[in-house]
Amino acid sequence: MISDLNSRGESSGEVPTNGHGPAGDPAASNAIAVEHIVKKYGDFTAVDGVSFNVKEEEIFGLLGPNGAGKSTLIRMMTTLIPVTAGSARIAGHDVQNDPDAVRRAIGVIPQALTSDLDLTIEENLNIYAKLYDVPAKKRKAAIDELLELVDLTKWRSAQTKTLSGGMRRRLEIARGLVHSPRIFFLDEPTTGLDPVSRVAVWEMLTNIKSHRQLTILITTHYMDEADRLCDRIAIVDHGKLVALDTPAALKASVPGSNVIEAQFDNVPAGWEDRLKKMSEVTSVQHEGAGMYRVLTGDGSRTTTELVEAAVHSGVKIRSLSVQNTTLDDVFVHYTGRQLRDELVKAHAFVMPPRPGLQP
């Protein structure tokens, strides 16, 4: 299913979507068409021959660890940096031949927060509306509607520097939509936010999607975010596309349908090999501190065997959980590494300090 992605750009069989949009409709036209795109910085290849299509009104996720090339892909698609080779067509316009037409069709939320801290929420939105030539008569109505959509109406006169990270993100999302773009690019909109604010941003994006005809391309390194929001997900690693499909199809493509996470005390030598030999087990990862992640086609049968083996060998089970396969397992399956590890190794993005009080 996933083979040859970087040359062809799509999985071979189109699979049903999870119901969020028309991703499975072969008649739907492409809002974004990227072909064999490459970005080199000197000798270093940041994006290495990536191809994919995004259909009108689809929510498409680029998922990958730090340094995978997600922002570089977005920067090329949004005309911010030149393409080294290959092409990208956005709303039918080529990014290299017709960048102005591309810019008129898109809204972009960059990874770093960029609203003016000394202005109020409303002033920030007004400036963008003027920059994008939104007619004066329509400006107030457009801003009122957006403030409602992102749930910031009552803070419209608050200075931006007094807002929490989550509120600033919501302001920036409203700002990116002020000229009613057809295609919306969001680069890691929830990185650095607390879990409650992250969920608020997800709900807001879903809400916006239900009110507007919008194609959304979002980058993230959060598996749960990609799973919950996206119609289809492209997994990017070291500048290459390693998998592309609906979240459900990606999970179904991993051998094994359940994951057992178990933590043991006093494991004997060869314990990992014993786990690997149990019925239906397709892979075992030792995550340190006695914690093992076991992929299996039959969660209950493997659990029984595992408990029996532990009792027999005098191994204490500190914790044990059985779940369905997640996108974490998909990432491990296609890259051989854990996304979590990659993120811990990399330098974490930290939300800028927030002077003043929260309103």
Stretch that binds ligand ATP, among 40-48, 99-107, 167-175, 262-270 (CB under 6 A): 40-48
In sequence order, which residues have a C-beta less than 8 Å from that of residue 143 and are 6 or more positions away?
122, 125, 126, 129, 174, 178
Asked if 240 is part of the footprint of ligand ATP (rule: CB under 6 A), the reply reads: no
Nearest approach, Cβ of 343 to ligand ATP (angstroms)?
A: 8
- Binding residue (CB under 6 A) for ligand ATP from 9, 49, 61, 64: 64
283 class by beta-carbon count within 10 Å (0-12 exposed, 13-18 middle, 19+ buried):
middle
Q: Token digits for 266?
A: 């006093």
Nearest approach, Cβ of 10 to Mg ion (angstroms)?
A: 24
- Binding residue (CB under 6 A) for ligand ATP from 22, 24, 67, 255: 67
Q: CA dihedral defined by 67, 68, 71, 75, rounded to 10 degrees?
A: 120
Name the residue nearer to ligand ATP (CB basis): 222 or 264: 222
Stretch that binds ligand ATP, among 67-75, 205-213, 292-300, 318-326 (CB under 6 A): 67-75
Using CA atoms, how far apart are residues 129 and 337, in angstroms rounded to an integer? 44
Asked if 72 is part of the footprint of ligand ATP (rule: CB under 6 A), the reply reads: yes
- Binding residue (CB under 6 A) for ligand ATP from 33, 68, 134, 201: 68
Q: Which amino acid is at 119?
A: L
Nearest approach, Cβ of 215 to Mg ion (angstroms)?
A: 20
221 binds, among Mg ion, ligand ATP, none (CB under 5 to 8 A by kind): ligand ATP
353 binds, among ligand ATP, Mg ion, none (CB under 5 to 8 A by kind): none
Asked if 181 is part of the footprint of ligand ATP (rule: CB under 6 A), the reply reads: no
Asked if 191 is part of the footprint of Mg ion (rule: CB under 5 A), the reply reads: no
Stretch that binds ligand ATP, among 4-12, 49-57, 61-69, 268-276 (CB under 6 A): 61-69
Q: 55-69: b or e for each residue (b if 16 or more CB lie within 10 Å)?
A: bbbbbbbbbbbbbbb
In sequence order, which residues have a C-beta less than 8 Å from that of residue 188 and are 6 or more positions away?
70, 71, 111, 219, 220, 221, 349
Asked if 66 is part of the footprint of ligand ATP (rule: CB under 6 A), the reply reads: yes
Name the residue nearer to ligand ATP (CB basis): 269 or 348: 348
Residues 45-84 contacting Mg ion, CB under 5 A = 70-71
The contact pattern for Mg ion, residues 91-130, with x = CB under 5 A and - = no contact, is --------------------x-------------------
In sequence order, which residues have a C-beta less than 8 Å from that of residue 304 and are 6 or more positions away?
none
17 binds, among Mg ion, ligand ATP, none (CB under 5 to 8 A by kind): none
User: How long is the chain?
Assistant: 359
Q: Which amino acid is at 267?
A: V
Q: In what order do the strands lie in the sheet with 291-296?
A: 281-288, 291-296, 258-265, 316-324
Asked if 111 is part of the footprint of ligand ATP (rule: CB under 6 A), the reply reads: yes
- Binding residue (CB under 6 A) for ligand ATP from 7, 12, 41, 356: 41
53 binds, among ligand ATP, Mg ion, none (CB under 5 to 8 A by kind): none
In sequence order, which residues have a C-beta less than 8 Å from that of residue 182 and are 6 or more positions away?
31, 91, 105, 106, 213, 214, 215
Please name the residue that has the structure tokens 């003016």: 116
- Binding residue (CB under 6 A) for ligand ATP from 46, 174, 201, 278: 46
The contact pattern for ligand ATP, residues 10-29, with x = CB under 6 A and - = no contact, is --------------------
Q: Name the nearest CA neighbour of 151 among 192, 183, 199, 105.
A: 199
Q: Token digits for 211?
A: 């009110």
The contact pattern for ligand ATP, residues 220-239, with x = CB under 6 A and - = no contact, is -x------------------
Q: For residue 130, how many C-alpha atoms fall within 13 Å in the half-sphere facing its CB?
A: 6
Which residues form the interface with ligand ATP (CB under 6 A)?
Answer: 41, 44, 46, 64, 66-72, 111, 221
